[in-house]
A and B are shown apart, each in its own frame.
Chain A
Amino acid sequence: MTILVTCVVLALLSMAVVVAPLSQIFIQQRITESAADLAAVAGAQNLIDGTQAACAHAGRVARLNATELVHCTSDQSSVYVVVAQEVRSARLHQIIPAVTATAKAGY
């Protein structure tokens, strides 16, 4: 009985230790995807003023959403952005430094 309960407790604890950081990364990934979408839309909205202006606006919206714009390109009708957010967990930061997401918006 004691051995069985110990095994169950250890299984639950190890699951918590593994699942908690993974779920945090999953949440961060979703936040970064949303931020990328919003940044791309902001960039596309200002595309008429040129690539530099579009990317500047995309970068501002990305920063306001707690992410960083790491790449931005555009053509005549669309903006393509890559945003990143550092992984908050110190242990996981060594393995996965940041989560990234891409988005494209245009007209």
Chain B
Amino acid sequence: MYKRLLEWLRVLKLSTTLCKQFGYATVEFALTIPLVIMMAVMSVWMLGLTVTDLRLHSAAASAARILARGQALPSNFSQILPEQAQYEVIQEESIVRVSIHMNSKSPIPLIPIPVTVNASAVASREDLPSGP
């Protein structure tokens, strides 16, 4: 009888330990997985910003070249740019400057990091008899 009681106590202790370990794993899972997902989302967002930066610089250089030749920008130029991007054209006496800027916010509302991506390009006007 005494031996059976000890056996039951041992099984009970083992199951309690297992339950406790399972609880720890759940807490760890609940705390760490959101952190990992958040970091992954931020990484993807930053990668996207890099690609956007490249796109804006390329668009600014192309626009400056087009305007420097005395041609008009394509009508769908603003559609090529990202939605939030705004561009500005400054035509001076001998140069053309195209500036594009875009505001972006982090995709996680808890970490509102505002980022502004700027790109500009200056080209010498070719429609003039002489350069700058």
- Chain A residues with CB under 8 Å of chain B are 1-2, 5, 8-9, 12-13, 15-16, 19-20, 23, 26-27, 30-31, 34-35, 37-38, 41-42, 45-46, 49, 57, 60-61, 64-65
Contact = CB atoms under 8 A, between A and B. Distances in A.
A46 B95 CA distance: 13
A27 B58 CA distance: 10
B36 A9 contact: yes
Secondary structure at the A interface, as helix, strand, loop or mixed, is helix
B123 A41 contact: yes
Classify the interface of chain B: helix, strand, loop or mixed: helix
A27 B95 contact: no
Among A9, A20, A23, A37, residue most surrounded by chain B Cβ atoms (within 10 Å): A23
Contacts of A26: 50, 54
A83 B125 CA distance: 20
A2 B132 contact: no
Nearest to A16: B43
Interface of B: 25, 28-29, 32-33, 35-36, 39-40, 43, 46-47, 50, 53-54, 57-58, 61, 64-65, 68, 95, 97, 120-124, 126, 130-132
A42 B36 contact: no
Interface centre among A30, A37, A45 (most CB of B within 10 A): A45
B124 A1 contact: no
Nearest to B39: A12
B123 A30 contact: no
Nearest to A15: B43
Contacts of A1: 25, 28-29, 32
A45 B57 contact: no
B77 to A, nearest CB: 17
B28 A30 contact: no
A45 B28 contact: no
Given A2-B28, A16-B43, A57-B132, A27 B36 contact: no
Contact of B57 (A31, A41, A42): A31
Contacts of B121: 34-35, 38, 65
Nearest to A4: B32
Contacts of A64: 95, 97, 122
Given A5-B35, A37-B61, 9 more contacts: A5-B28, A9-B35, A27-B53, A34-B121, A38-B121, A41-B65, A42-B131, A45-B131, A61-B123
